[in-house]
Structures are given as structure tokens and as C-alpha cells.
């Protein structure tokens, strides 16, 4: 009896050991979460021996977790500062994976199509422009009947990469904003209501007539919210689409460490409020097998994965950048 | 029976005599009580050590400054303290009269047959998760408040600074209402227990003196139960102070102190729930820990103050009839 039991136990153990997949953990940006989940499910068909687990806890959480090495890779929409990188135990690299647009959505009767430029947007969010029919807005929207309604500003109450990109843009186009508020994943908003997450802001905009707020392009489309055409650095009013983000990427200067800002990018067709999202990985991987699998996945993501993103409103990286990133991935040691 | 009571030695004596079950039960009970006290002390200690950075930099300014700026890393928690205080007060003002009235109805006036079903329904309210209240608040309550109740209040009382300013829907008043709904079950059930414990002799004596039904309730029942109902209100206040998810979904999340109840606000618990996940700089984290410490301190202070108030107002033992 004992022999049978021990044999069964051994068989069960070895069965679990044989079917045990390698688990690679990641955490961070909510913006990139849908894209990564798609990549992981497609990659499972390519290599079933490895499984990825990603928790969308926000960019700040992603940076924290990779610094304390509780996860194997982090996801962030705001690049880490020099101070943050210095706090990591080893060299930490930024691998850009995709880019997206932050759009300005609003709720006005009749859903008019609006055009806005950077300084006007900054004045709205600073609380200086308080009515929809203000001269600054009306001046850019000839022919649109703007109501004499209060502007209800909606922003994020939680820290977020979307806020980082948006405040980065406003700091670039408005010296007033830069002095008073600045750039960050969480800032001291001069005016407005706070919503939790992209979903919270979208919900708040939908419910309040006269509201204006910033959300990711995907959320605006999902909630059928109108969004404004914004004036870019070249002086053209651009509608946010994946193509306009690709145009912005093409114009951005990307340094060797891949930390860059692409707001207010040069280029005729570039959309001004766009940002990239990065995966944070250590140059020297701790675990040989995990490191090997991770590098294989990253290489796949850069060759096959980029197409999948385009269908989900994520802009793929330009070819020149992809080559440089692949080089960098090849330098990851395990 | 009486002789057994007189002969039985004290538990300590019996333990000393080596009565093992008594001894071990005593030890277990002391361990349980000690664990709870130790837990509270531990939570306070962890919060304190986590907020040392912020305490060192801001000192008392943290409690009186209104500036919360994660970019320049200057933090002040006054709007959150105000928000927690205001939303809890509004909730109490709504929930205590409602809860006590419901309890009175259930103990004094309701036909026996409907008492248990009503009690069951009220207890079910207590089992609804906080997030569900938040969702219901966003999709059902806020639109109704914005389009109806707040408009009526402004039409009738707009001259008061309390009801001035633009109406967004999400507001301090909305948060107060949601929290009132959430603390209603606990106030009602505790009040009901208190009212049930009023001896019938009190009521009969009042009737004998010629009191009407309302006078009996006011003098004999409520007078006797005053202390217990105060305790029920404190229990409700304790829950109201800590309510997080439902409040953060309906309060508007704007750290401003405003006279108007229609204006959005922010509470201590909400700011921690909103910002803790993404906060990565040590100072920001430390400031949030200090917010948690302030919340813990406020809760303890409120409970202590309530105990002191009880003792001075009503004295120990039974009270005098008003």
C-alpha cells in the first residue's frame, strides 16, 4: 500500500514538474496593458514553454517594482529620471515598445468639432479661460456656435503616465504652466475635478455637460467621445490618429538610452500630444533561463508584435528605431 | 446554587492551585486581547516610521497647509482633514436621526410580524460592498442629485453660502449622502439593541404618570437610551471616517476647502487610495504614509473624545430622566 502511494506521489510530482511552465512577471503602465496582453497571448502560441504575467498597476508602480526586483520587467509611460535610475541595483534599460496619443475630449451639446492650440489648452487647465465662448477658443473655431457655458475641467486623481505626457506637453507650450504646475505623473491641478483612471475621466466627461479632459485615444473611441484637433509645432491642426503619432515618432530625436519625449514633435503631420511606453529590463539578467526567454520574446515583439499593436490603436515604432532597439536587446546579458 | 457561588474560589486562585484548563484558557484570552492591542500599536509604529521623512521636512505645517504638490514635493494635508471631517459630519447628520427613528419604529411601533423582515433588509444594506455603492453613486445617484436635489436646494436655500457655486454632481454633499447610506445599518441595529434593552418598567411608569406615546418615547425610552445611542453614533462615525472607495468615486477629488457643499472635495482615505499605487518618490510616499497616520490619529482621537464626553455628560451607570 505504502509503495503504491509513494509511487503515485512521485508520479504526480514529476508530472507537475514536467508541465511547469516558466513564469515571467511584469508590472506597470495601464496604457500599455492591452497591447502586452495581446502580445503574451500570441507569443504563447509561438513558445508555449514560457508564460507571462503582467499587472497593470500604473507606471509609478512599475518603476518601483523593477527597482526592487520583485518583477522581471517593468512597464512605464514616463521615463525614469537619472535619480531613479541611480537607485536601481544594476544598469536598467528602457526599451520603447509602442506609442500612443493623448486626446482632449469634451462634452458639448451638438458635439461640435473643435480646434485648439497649446496655449489655449494650458489656459483652460490653469483655470484662466472659464467659458466655452471665450475669445481664445472662439478665435480658432470660426463657424462653430460655442455656448455661454462654464468649462468643467476633468483631470486624473491618480498618478499616471497619461498625466505625465499631457503635463509635459503643457510645460512645453506654456511657460505659465511650466512655472506654476510643471511635469509629473501627479501634479497640483489648479482647477477641476479628479477622476480615477482613464475610465474615471471618460465617465466624468460623459456625465457633465461642458466638461473637458484628457484621455488615451482608445478610451475616447470606446466611449464615443469627440476629441479636438490640436495645433502642432508646424502650425497645422492635426486629428489624433495612429498615423499622426507615427509622424510624431519620426520627428522625435531618440538618444542612445531611448529616454525621450515626443510631445510637440516637429513635422507637418505630427500630433502634438503623443508619448511612448517603455519596458524596463536589466542589462544583466539574474536568471539565465528567464533572461534567455525574455530576450527571445522581445525579439519576437519587435519583428512580429508591432503589427498587432497597430490594430489596437498603438503606433508602431519606425524601422530605424526598431533596428536600434533590436541591437540593444541583443546586448542584454544572461 | 448559592452555596456553589460562595464556595467557588477565584480563577486566579484556582490557577495557582494548578487547575490546567482554567490556566490555559486565561493565557489564551490574555494572548488574544494582547494581540489586538499589539496590532494597533504596530500599525501606528509602521505608519510613523514610514512618515518620518515627511514629518521631519514639514512638521506641523503638514496639518495646516493646503498645498499638495507632487512635482515640487511640498505637501500639506489640511484639505483632506477638512474633507474627512465634513463628509463624516454630513453623514452623521443624515444617518443618526434616520437610524434612531427607524430603530424606534422597529421597537416601539411596528407590528411584530414585519419587524424581522425589515431588520433583515437593513442588515443586507450593511453587506453591500463599498465599491458597489460607489458605482451606484456614479451612475444613479449623481445624475439625480445634479439634475434634481441640488437644483431644489439651490432654488430654496441658494442664499446660504452652503448651497452656492456651480453644481457638478460630484461634491462633498454627494459623498456625505453615500456614507450616510453606508453607516445607516450599523446605527440602526445598535440603536435597536439599545432601545430593546430599555426595561418595560420605565415605559409603564411614564404611562402611569399620564404621558402620551411620544412623551413616553422621548422621556422614558430615549432618555434611558441616550448614552447607548451616542455610542451607536460614534460607531457610525468610526466607519464614516475610514470609508474609501465609495467616497473617492463621488467626491470629485479636488483638494480645495470650499464653503459650498456643492463643491468637490477630497478625504484622507481617498488621497491614499488614489495616489499610493503610483507614488514612487520617497517624499511623496512618506507624505501619503503621514496622511494615513493622521487618519489613524483622528479615529483614535474621536473615540477617546467620545468616551470622555460620555462620562462627563451622562455619568456612569443609569442616567437621570431629562
Query: Which of A77, A82, A191, A193 is the best substitution to test chain B (most B C-beta atoms within 10 A)?
Result: A193
Residue A311 has a pLDDT of 82
The answer to whether residues B179 and B296 belong to one domain is yes
The answer to whether residues B82 and B46 belong to one domain is no
pLDDT > 80? residue A188: yes
- The Cα B250–Cα B265 span in angstroms is 9
Q: How many CB atoms lie within 10 A of CB B43?
A: 13
Residue whose C-alpha cell is 456643492: B262
Query: Which of A81, A157, A204 is the best substitution to test chain B (most B C-beta atoms within 10 A)?
Result: A157
The answer to whether residues B27 and B104 belong to one domain is no
- The Cα A333–Cα A284 span in angstroms is 5
Are B249 and B256 in contact by the 8 Å Cβ rule? The answer is no
- The Cα A190–Cα A207 span in angstroms is 21
The answer to whether residues B84 and B11 belong to one domain is no
Residue B35 has a pLDDT of 97
Residue B246, C-alpha cell as written in the block: 465609495
pLDDT > 80? residue A9: no
How many angstroms away from the CA of B273 is the closest CA of chain A? 8
The answer to whether residues B185 and B251 belong to one domain is yes
The answer to whether residues B89 and B14 belong to one domain is no
The answer to whether residues B136 and B266 belong to one domain is yes
- Buried (b) or exposed (e) across A9-23, using 16+ Cβ within 10 A? eeeeeeeeeeeeeee
- Secondary structure class of A98 (helix, strand, coil): strand
The answer to whether residues B204 and B293 belong to one domain is yes
The answer to whether residues B46 and B85 belong to one domain is no
- The phi, psi pair for B268, rounded to 5°, reads -55, -45
Share of chain A above pLDDT 90, in %: 51
The answer to whether residues B31 and B140 belong to one domain is no
Residues B274, A58: C-beta atoms closer than 8 Å: no
- Secondary structure class of B55 (helix, strand, coil): helix
The answer to whether residues B30 and B125 belong to one domain is no
Residues A187, B168: C-beta atoms closer than 8 Å: no
- Chain A residues whose CB is inside 8 A of the B142 CB are 207
Residue numbers of the domain that contains B314: 78-321
Query: Which of A74, A80, A81, A185 is the best substitution to test chain B (most B C-beta atoms within 10 A)?
Result: A185
Residue B70 within a domain:
no
Residue B315 has a pLDDT of 54
Q: pLDDT tens digits, chain B, 322 residues: what are they?
A: 445 555 566 666 655 566 888 999 999 999 999 999 999 999 999 999 999 999 999 999 999 999 999 888 999 999 999 999 999 999 999 999 999 999 999 998 899 999 999 999 998 988 899 899 999 998 899 999 999 999 999 999 989 999 988 888 899 999 999 999 999 999 999 999 999 999 999 999 999 999 999 999 998 899 889 888 998 999 899 989 989 999 999 999 999 999 999 999 999 999 999 888 777 788 999 999 999 999 999 999 888 888 887 777 655 445 444 4
The total of structural domains in chain B comes to: 2
Nearest to B121 by CA among B108, B110, B136, B137: B110
* Positions of E strands within chain B: 68-69, 74-75
Compute the half-sphere exposure of residue A51: CA atoms within 13 Å on the CB side of its CA: 6
- pLDDT, chain A, mean: 88
Strands B74-75 and B68-69: antiparallel
Residue B116 within a domain:
yes
Q: List the beta bridge partners of residue A237.
A: A231
Strands A237-238 and A229-231: antiparallel
Q: List the beta bridge partners of residue A274.
A: A101
How many angstroms away from the CA of B185 is the closest CA of chain A? 28
Residue B6 has a pLDDT of 54
Residue B66 within a domain:
no
Residue B115, C-alpha cell as written in the block: 419587524
- The phi, psi pair for B125, rounded to 5°, reads -60, -35
- Chain A residues whose CB is inside 8 A of the B72 CB are 182
Show the 3-state SS of B228-244: HHHHHHHHHHHHHHHCC
Residues B170, A193: C-beta atoms closer than 8 Å: yes
Residue A16 has a pLDDT of 52
The answer to whether residues B31 and B123 belong to one domain is no
- The Cα A36–Cα A305 span in angstroms is 9
- The Cα A166–Cα A188 span in angstroms is 13
Residue B143 within a domain:
yes
C-alpha A31, offset from chain centre? 4
Residue B57 within a domain:
no
Share of chain A above pLDDT 70, in %: 96
- The Cα A55–Cα A33 span in angstroms is 8
In chain B, the largest separation of any two C-alpha atoms, in whole Å, equals 77
Residue B60 within a domain:
no
- The Cα A168–Cα A136 span in angstroms is 22
Complex ipTM more than 0.85, yes or no: no
Residue B322 has a pLDDT of 43
Which of A57, A64, A193 has the CB atom closest to B264's CB atom?
A193
Task: Place A18 in a pLDDT band, splitting at 50, 70 and 90.
Answer: very low
Name every residue whose Cβ is closer than 8 Å to that of residue B110 and which is 6 or more positions away in sequence: B118
Residue B73 within a domain:
no
**CATH code where residue B316 lies:** 1.10.3720.10
Residue B67 within a domain:
no
Amino acid at each position: 500500500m505504502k509503495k503504491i502511494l509513494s509511487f503515485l506521489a512521485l508520479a504526480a510530482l514529476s508530472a507537475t514538474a514536467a508541465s511547469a511552465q516558466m513564469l515571467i512577471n511584469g508590472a506597470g503602465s495601464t496604457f500599455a496593458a492591452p497591447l502586452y496582453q495581446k502580445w503574451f497571448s500570441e507569443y504563447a502560441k509561438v513558445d508555449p514553454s514560457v508564460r507571462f504575467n503582467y499587472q497593470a498597476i500604473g507606471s509609478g508602480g512599475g518603476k518601483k517594482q523593477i527597482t526592487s526586483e520583485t518583477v522581471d520587467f517593468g512597464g512605464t509611460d514616463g521615463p525614469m529620471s537619472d535619480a531613479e535610475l541611480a537607485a536601481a541595483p544594476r544598469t536598467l534599460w528602457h526599451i520603447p515598445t509602442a506609442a500612443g496619443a493623448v486626446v482632449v475630449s469634451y462634452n458639448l451639446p451638438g458635439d461640435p468639432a473643435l480646434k485648439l492650440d497649446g496655449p489655449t489648452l494650458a489656459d483652460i487647465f490653469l483655470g484662466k479661460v472659464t467659458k466655452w465662448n471665450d475669445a481664445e477658443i472662439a478665435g480658432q473655431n470660426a463657424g462653430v456656435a460655442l455656448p455661454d457655458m462654464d468649462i468643467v475641467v476633468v483631470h486624473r486623481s491618480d498618478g499616471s503616465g497619461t498625466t505625465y505626457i499631457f503635463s509635459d506637453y503643457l510645460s512645453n507650450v506654456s511657460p505659465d504652466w511650466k512655472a506654476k504646475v510643471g511635469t509629473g505623473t501627479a501634479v497640483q491641478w489648479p482647477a477641476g475635478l479628479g477622476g480615477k483612471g482613464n475610465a474615471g475621466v471618460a465617465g466624468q466627461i460623459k456625465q457633465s455637460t461642458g466638461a473637458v479632459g484628457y484621455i488615451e485615444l482608445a478610451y475616447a473611441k470606446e466611449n464615443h467621445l469627440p476629441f479636438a484637433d490640436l495645433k502642432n509645432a508646424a502650425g497645422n491642426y492635426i486629428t489624433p490618429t495612429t498615423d499622426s503619432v507615427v509622424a510624431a515618432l519620426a520627428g522625435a530625436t531618440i538618444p542612445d538610452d531611448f529616454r525621450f519625449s515626443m510631445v510637440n514633435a516637429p513635422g507637418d503631420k505630427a500630433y502634438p500630444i503623443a508619448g511612448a511606453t517603455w519596458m524596463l529590463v536589466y542589462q544583466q539578467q539574474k536568471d539565465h533561463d528567464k533572461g534567455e526567454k525574455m530576450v527571445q520574446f522581445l525579439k519576437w515583439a519587435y519583428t512580429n508584435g508591432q503589427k498587432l499593436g497597430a490594430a489596437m490603436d498603438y503606433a508602431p515604432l519606425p524601422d530605424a528605431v526598431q533596428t536600434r532597439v533590436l541591437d540593444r536587446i541583443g546586448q542584454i546579458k544572461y | 446554587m448559592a452555596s456553589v457561588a460562595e464556595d467557588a474560589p477565584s480563577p486566579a486562585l484556582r490557577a495557582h492551585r494548578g487547575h490546567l484548563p482554567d490556566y490555559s484558557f486565561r493565557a489564551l484570552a490574555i494572548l488574544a486581547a494582547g494581540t489586538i492591542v499589539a496590532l494597533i500599536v504596530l500599525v501606528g509604529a509602521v505608519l510613523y516610521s514610514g512618515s518620518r521623512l515627511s514629518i521631519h521636512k514639514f512638521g506641523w505645517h503638514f496639518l495646516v497647509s493646503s498645498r499638495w504638490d507632487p512635482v515640487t514635493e511640498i505637501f500639506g494635508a489640511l484639505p483632506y482633514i477638512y474633507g474627512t471631517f465634513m463628509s463624516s459630519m454630513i453623514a452623521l447628520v443624515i444617518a443618526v436621526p434616520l437610524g434612531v427613528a427607524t430603530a424606534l419604529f422597529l421597537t416601539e411601533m411596528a407590528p411584530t410580524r414585519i419587524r424581522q423582515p425589515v431588520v433583515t433588509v437593513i442588515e443586507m444594506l450593511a453587506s453591500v460592498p463599498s465599491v458597489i455603492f460607489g458605482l451606484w453613486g456614479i451612475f444613479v445617484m449623481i445624475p439625480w442629485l445634479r439634475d434634481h436635489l441640488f437644483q431644489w436646494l439651490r432654488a430654496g436655500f441658494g442664499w446660504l453660502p452652503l448651497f452656492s457655486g456651480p453644481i457638478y454632481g460630484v461634491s462633498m454633499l454627494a459623498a456625505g449622502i453615500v456614507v450616510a447610506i453606508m453607516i445607516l445599518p450599523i446605527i440602526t441595529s445598535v440603536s435597536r439593541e439599545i432601545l430593546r434593552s430599555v426595561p418595560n418598567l420605565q415605559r409603564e411608569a411614564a404611562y402611569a404618570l399620564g404621558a402620551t406615546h411620544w412623551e413616553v418615547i422621548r422621556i422614558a425610552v430615549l432618555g434611558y437610551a441616550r448614552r447607548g445611542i451616542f455610542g451607536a453614533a460614534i460607531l457610525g462615525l468610526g466607519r464614516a471616517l475610514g470609508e474609501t472607495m465609495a467616497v473617492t468615486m463621488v467626491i470629485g477629488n479636488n483638494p480645495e476647502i470650499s464653503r459650498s457643499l456643492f463643491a468637490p472635495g477630497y478625504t484622507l482615505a481617498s488621497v491614499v487610495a488614489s495616489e499610493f499605487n503610483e507614488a514612487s518618490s520617497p517624499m511623496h510616499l512618506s507624505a501619503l504614509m503621514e496622511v494615513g497616520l493622521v487618519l489613524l490619529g483622528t479615529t483614535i482621537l474621536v473615540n477617546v473624545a467620545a468616551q470622555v464626553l460620555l462620562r462627563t455628560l451622562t455619568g456612569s451607570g443609569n442616567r437621570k430622566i431629562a
